[in-house]
């Protein structure tokens, strides 16, 4: 912890310097979206000030510069998750669009009536609803592996649900509502033994740990830029090249084609086949800058620092009478979901805001998780690498004040 350059990191995030309601901002809503370092902000303004034009189109200098920046970012993403080729990196709007893309293309081509898609009971709605829509359209069946009261996947039950009919396993790497980190290597090995492709929803995992898609041997990995210190509106779909090659395109339009006549269209090669229309050029460049920034700090250093933050917060929270932590998995990322006796989570959120503390209160787009724990909502403090133990102290004393006044 002592070697983690926390002061420097905090100074890199201009938004953290401000006061909210006359109190220093304590931003603990990082699972919803995290703040942006100056280098990311600068990379975007630099592009618009000096290098902006449409990509893949022009022979003119600006277009070539913008294309270099755009494709350079794809290279950075490839290295960051250790994909084997930039052909496997598709830029999309975010994790949600990536999952919908897979449902509309891979699933449409490979999953039929009576086939099964296996998810878990701790998924975000974006890894539930696209599959429900797909099942409704095709007659495929959605199977849900249960969780226990700690918020962990009941692995034996999951394994039992893998059948000859299973055509896709789609699992969250780290839960946004509970913080649980799933045993993805075991999950993938079990699916591979039956030749079943695996999609990992990495929206929460990606900012907290190093991810190596080749080592994991997952078939698809999806995440959003805005939870990775990059702009909103950009995300990544990683897919194994052979699978992506065999998939039909997602949207039709410019850039995803090689040749168009009124009789037929020849599609472009990977990754462009899946990137119809002018992309979010500046957001991609911002994502590249965020990755450079993270690589310099080191994902393993970030993981170690955040583990200390989570331990500290968990220990403090456990001592508060009337506070119940929702999600106590052994393997857990930097998320503390909780409820308080007699105080509704929305009131916790509002009252903490008056102290300058930003947390999220709600169902976190994981309503089935709320149902399982029989709570309408939770309050959720989610940590990032720029948070500190002092901020956790502020949160805990805020909670104690609430209990004293309203509990």
Active site residues: 365
Tokens of 331: 């393997």
Identify which of residues 268 and 382 has a Cβ nearer to ligand 7TS in the complex. 382
Smallest distance, ligand 7TS to C-beta of residue 382, A = 7
C-alpha to C-alpha distance for 94 and 74, rounded to whole angstroms: 15
Please, what is the minimum distance in Å from the beta carbon of residue 204 to ligand 7TS?
5
CA distance 246 to 182: 29
Calpha distance 92→203 (Å, rounded): 13
The closest of 249, 214, 250 to 100, measured between CA atoms, is 250
Distance CA 46, CA 44 (A): 5
Compute the distance between CA of residue 80 and CA of residue 87 in angstroms, rounded to an integer. Answer: 14
Measured from the CB atom, the residue of 67 and 126 that comes closer to ligand 7TS is: 126
Nearest to 362 by CA among 13, 151, 125, 164: 125
Cβ at position 236, least distance to ligand 7TS in Å: 11
Least spacing, CB of residue 96 vs ligand 7TS, in Å: 3
Nearer to ligand 7TS, 167 or 208 (CB): 208
Strand segments (E) across 114-179: 116-120, 141-145, 166-172
Smallest distance, ligand 7TS to C-beta of residue 101, A = 12
Distance of CA 294 to the CA centre of its chain: 15
Maximum Cα–Cα distance for the chain, whole Å?
73
Which stretches of the chain bind ligand 7TS, using CB under 6 A?
31-32, 94-96, 124, 126, 172, 176, 201, 203-204, 224, 360, 364-365
Contact (Cβ atoms closer than 8 angstroms) between residue 112 and residue 140:
yes
Q: Are 95 and 221 in contact (CB under 8 A)?
A: no
Closer Cβ to ligand 7TS, 203 or 294, answer by number: 203
Question: Whose Cβ is closer to ligand 7TS: residue 94's or residue 286's?
Answer: 94
């Amino acid at each position: 912890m002592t070697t983690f350059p926390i002061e420097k990191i905090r100074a890199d995030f201009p938004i953290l310097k401000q006061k909210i309601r006359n109190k220093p901002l304590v931003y603990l809503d990082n699972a919803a979206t995290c703040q942006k370092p100056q280098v990311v902000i600068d990379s975007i303004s630099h592009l618009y000030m000096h290098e902006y034009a449409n990509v893949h189109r022009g022979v003119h200098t600006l277009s070539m510069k913008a294309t270099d920046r755009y494709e350079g970012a794809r290279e950075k993403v490839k290295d960051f998750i250790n994909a084997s080729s930039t052909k496997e990196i598709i830029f999309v709007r975010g994790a949600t669009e990536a999952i919908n893309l897979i449902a509309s293309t891979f699933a449409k081509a490979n999953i039929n009536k009576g086939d099964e898609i296996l998810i878990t009971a701790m998924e975000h709605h974006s890894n539930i609803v696209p599959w429900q829509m797909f099942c409704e359209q095709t007659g495929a069946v959605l199977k849900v592996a249960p969780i226990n009261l700690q918020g962990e996947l009941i692995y034996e039950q999951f394994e039992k649900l893998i059948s000859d009919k299973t055509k896709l396993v789609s699992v969250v790497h780290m839960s946004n509502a509970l913080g649980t980190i799933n045993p993805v290597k075991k999950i993938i090995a079990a699916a591979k033994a039956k030749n079943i492709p695996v999609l990992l929803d990495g929206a929460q995992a990606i900012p907290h740990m190093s991810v190596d898609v080749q080592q994991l041997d997952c078939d698809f990995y999806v995440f959003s830029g805005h939870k990775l210190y990059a702009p909103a509106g950009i995300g990544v779909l990683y897919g194994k090249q052979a699978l992506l090659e065999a998939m039909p395109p997602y949207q039709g339009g410019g850039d995803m084609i090689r040749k168009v006549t009124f009789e037929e269209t020849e599609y472009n090669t990977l990754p462009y086949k899946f990137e119809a229309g002018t992309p979010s050029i500046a957001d991609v460049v911002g994502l590249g800058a965020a990755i450079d920034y993270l690589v310099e700090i080191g994902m393993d250093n970030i993981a170690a620092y955040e583990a200390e933050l989570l331990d500290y917060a968990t220990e403090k929270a456990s001592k508060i009478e009337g506070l119940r932590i929702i999600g106590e998995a052994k393997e857990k990322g930097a998320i503390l979901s909780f409820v308080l006796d007699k105080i509704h989570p929305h009131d916790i959120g509002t009252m903490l805001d008056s102290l300058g503390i930003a947390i999220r209160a709600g169902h976190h787009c994981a309503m089935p998780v709320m149902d399982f724990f029989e709570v309408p909502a939770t309050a959720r403090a989610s940590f990032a690498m720029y948070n500190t133990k002092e901020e956790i102290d502020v949160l805990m004393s805020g909670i104690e004040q609430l209990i004293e006044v309203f509990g």
